[in-house]
Structure 1
């Protein structure tokens, strides 16, 4: 377990657009994940999008912290050669952290982002 380093984050709009245009997506009730396999990368990169429809700034930041922590806990199990974007849907706001994490991992398994 290690912190989600700067090298593991998608930040630029161009990077987001490449994943949206060339990648694939999977979804469940709480999340949509767009992902793109990249063979020339040593580490995965994760981006997140939490819309203003989700709630006020406090709620959105809480959701972002939940996502970062969930990804950080399983970072050593995530495929290194991929970029992915996690988009939060409104039903995720009502979940406690454990259910939130389980739902996110379910969606990540559907996207085959884990090594095993």
Structure 2
């Protein structure tokens, strides 16, 4: 075995040993995530919300929604390219997903919801985004 292949093999061994290590110091408390079951994924699902749903808007968001007949609400986030480059758009989506993750208990269930952020979202404070989006989502039920 030459030196190069030994280094590659050693690198693989190190990586494998990191993966197989027990999780020392990690708590057993479940992490509240944003699983795929709570997301809209297909284009047809988005189109169904646009065609058969209603719309609410605010200074920072446009929210489209329609009942889905299920136990949980499902969410889609659509960020226009005009809002910025990929880094900016991905940051906006991460912030919205975090708001949804933190506020799962406050969000009405049984809806398909598509969120369109407006250009002011990129510069807004997280707390103001959270308050405004939750206000819009609560208005879905009314």
Same fold (TM over 0.5): yes
Match of 1:86 in 2: 115
Question: Could you tell me which of 103, 122, 127 is aligned with 1:74?
Answer: 103
Unaligned runs of 5+ in 1: none
Q: Work out the CA distance in 1 between the residues paired with 2:39 and 2:123.
A: 26
Unaligned runs of 5+ in 2: 1-30
1 or 2, which has the higher strand percentage?
1
Match of 1:56 in 2: 85
The CA RMSD over aligned residues, in Å, is 1.5
Alpha-carbon distance, 1:94 to partner: 1.5
Q: What number of residue pairs does the alignment pair up?
A: 112
Q: Work out the CA distance in 2 between the residues paired with 1:79 and 1:111.
A: 8
Question: Could you tell me which of 23, 35, 40 is aligned with 1:10?
Answer: 40
TM-score, structure 1 as length reference: 0.89
Match of 1:97 in 2: 126
Relative contact order, CA 8 A, sep 6+: which one is greater?
1
Alpha-carbon distance, 1:76 to partner: 2.2
